[in-house]
């Protein structure tokens, strides 16, 4: 009588199970380490960036140049051409004045009780959400017409280009025009501080409310161009498959150069798609009780990013949606645009 031979595949099943268990234990240990050391240091050390050193500011603020351009804009009524007034700073950033105003803030995708139906829907959103409420911003400001580009960010941090594996000297003219990313929230704040001290004007990240007021541009739809969300001619979006027009333009499969798509009705480009944009707030769900100049929670673990990116599925990219990330993390698809503070003024522009 021959002894029984072990079943060959049983050994491999046991090995596989052991690897799965080991991987699970490693993940738990890593998560615990991350939560214990990384997040607390972020909260304690990075929750409030130091104010710009006004002692090194120039005696007079850098004079902004005024330019008026005819711009193709996307509106709920279709494409149009409008004259937009831009104010240009020392880095050739085009800034647009946004006056005090109000808008309807929609619930985030994750907070919607009907989110599964939204996800299944392919061509329609309801016009308002169950938690929609009005938010008011009482102070005017200037905001960047474009996301901060690689060329502009490298004026602050020349080592930034080393993060982009696809960067080659021959690609520099195109690379320079792409949104600066990956950039952490902390680095975006440091850039704003540097630019403030360079120009003698207070630059910072916009709050979520300031960002949404500018993004909606006086419209009431989910997107500043209306309710149709699978139109790749209006934004660099749509998941992991790159926009064919982007490939023809610059041979990159991810972000597109800023300003390739029509602006919103107030002349701001890429407010949806291309690259997520850091805002000042700690991540939070919209609060219906905080409706005048809201700034979000006083503390938290994640900072907020708005606008979606080239990877974002359209049903989750509308203006009210947001994302949260550790402020110290360097992540692809995370960039920013700047806000420059202004004194209150009743003068209207670009309306």
For the chain, which residues make up each domain, given as ranges? 62-341
Q: What is the pTM of this model?
A: 0.78
Written as six digits, the tokens of 176 are: 């320079």
The Cα–Cα gap between 84 and 187 comes to: 30
Given a cut of 80, whether residue 61 has pLDDT beyond it is yes
Section 27-52 average pLDDT: 45
Greater pLDDT, 266 or 41: 266
Query: Is 275 within 8 Å of 335 (Cβ atoms)?
Result: yes
Weakest mean pLDDT among 195-204, 247-256, 311-320: 247-256
Written as six digits, the tokens of 13 are: 């099943």
The Cα–Cα gap between 235 and 222 comes to: 14
Name the range with the highest mean pLDDT among 5-14, 16-25, 99-108, 282-291.
99-108
Greater pLDDT, 171 or 307: 307
DSSP letter (8 states) at residue 200: T
Q: Residue with structure tokens 């020349």?
A: 158
Those residues with Cβ within 8 angstroms of residue 38's Cβ, 6 or more apart along the chain or in another chain: 326, 328
Query: Is 235 within 8 Å of 270 (Cβ atoms)?
Result: yes
The CB density around residue 25, as the number of other CB atoms within 10 Å, is 10
Q: Name the fold adopted by 62-341.
A: 3.90.1580
The Cα–Cα gap between 84 and 96 comes to: 8
Q: Length of the chain in residues, anyone?
A: 351
Given a cut of 50, whether residue 245 has pLDDT beyond it is no
Name the range with the highest mean pLDDT among 49-63, 133-147, 215-229.
133-147
DSSP letter (8 states) at residue 343: -
Greater pLDDT, 193 or 48: 193
Written as six digits, the tokens of 227 are: 């309710």
pLDDT in tens, 166-214: 555 556 677 889 999 889 999 999 999 999 999 999 999 999 999 999 9
Confidence band (pLDDT; 50, 70, 90) for 313?
Answer: confident
Please give the backbone phi and psi of residue 262, each rounded to the nearest 5 degrees, phi first. Answer: -60, 145
Burial of 175-191, coded b for 16+ CB within 10 Å and e otherwise, reads bebbbbbbbbbbbbbbb
Q: Where are the beta strands (DSSP E) in 145-233?
A: 203-204
CA trace torsion 285, 291, 293, 298 (10° rounding): -40
The Cα–Cα gap between 101 and 104 comes to: 11
CA 31 to chain centre: 26
Given a cut of 50, whether residue 242 has pLDDT beyond it is no
pLDDT at 348: 47
pLDDT at 351: 47
How do strand 94-98 and strand 78-88 relate by DSSP bridges?
antiparallel
Given a cut of 60, whether residue 237 has pLDDT beyond it is yes
Confidence band (pLDDT; 50, 70, 90) for 6?
Answer: low
The Cα–Cα gap between 297 and 67 comes to: 38
DSSP letter (8 states) at residue 246: H
The Cα–Cα gap between 16 and 21 comes to: 9
pLDDT at 49: 62
Please give, one letter per residue, the 3-state secondary structure of 28-61: HHHHHHHHHHHHHHHHHHHCCCCCCCHHHCCCCC
Those residues with Cβ within 8 angstroms of residue 321's Cβ, 6 or more apart along the chain or in another chain: 108, 109, 306, 308
Query: Is 104 within 8 Å of 126 (Cβ atoms)?
Result: no
Q: Residue with structure tokens 């595949």?
A: 9
């Amino acid at each position: 009588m021959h002894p029984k031979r072990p079943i060959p595949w049983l050994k491999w099943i046991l090995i596989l199970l052991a690897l799965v268990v080991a991987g699970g234990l490693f993940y738990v240990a890593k998560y615990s380490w991350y939560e214990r050391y990384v997040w607390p240091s972020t909260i304690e050390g990075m929750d409030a960036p130091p104010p710009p050193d006004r002692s090194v500011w120039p005696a007079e603020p850098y004079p902004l140049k005024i330019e008026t351009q005819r711009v193709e804009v996307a509106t709920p009524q279709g494409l149009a051409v409008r004259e937009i007034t831009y104010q240009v700073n020392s880095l050739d950033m085009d800034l647009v004045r946004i006056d005090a105003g109000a808008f309807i803030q929609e619930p985030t995708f994750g907070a919607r009780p009907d989110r599964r139906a939204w996800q299944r829907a392919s061509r329609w959103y309801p016009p308002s959400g169950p938690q929609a409420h009005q938010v008011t911003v009482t102070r005017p400001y200037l905001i960047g017409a474009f996301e901060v580009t690689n060329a502009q960010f490298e004026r602050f941090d020349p080592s930034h280009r080393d993060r982009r594996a696809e960067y080659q000297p021959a690609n520099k003219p195109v690379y320079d025009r792409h949104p600066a990313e990956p950039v952490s929230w902390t680095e975006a704040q440091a850039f704003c501080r540097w630019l403030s001290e360079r120009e003698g004007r207070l630059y910072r990240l916009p709050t979520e409310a300031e960002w949404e007021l500018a993004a909606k541009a006086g419209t009431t739809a989910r997107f500043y161009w209306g309710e149709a969300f699978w139109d790749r001619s209006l934004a660099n979006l749509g998941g992991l498959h790159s926009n064919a027009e982007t490939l023809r333009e610059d041979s990159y499969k991810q972000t597109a150069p800023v300003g390739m798509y029509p602006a919103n009705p107030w002349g701001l480009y890429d407010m949806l798609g291309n690259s997520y944009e850091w805002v000042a707030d700690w991540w939070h769900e919209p609060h219906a009780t905080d409706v005048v100049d809201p700034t979000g929670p006083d503390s938290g673990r994640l900072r907020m990013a708005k606008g979606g990116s080239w990877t974002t599925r359209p049903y989750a990219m509308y203006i009210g949606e947001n994302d949260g990330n550790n402020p110290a993390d360097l992540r692809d698809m995370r960039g920013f645009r700047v806000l420059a503070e202004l004194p209150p003024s009743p003068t209207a522009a670009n309306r």
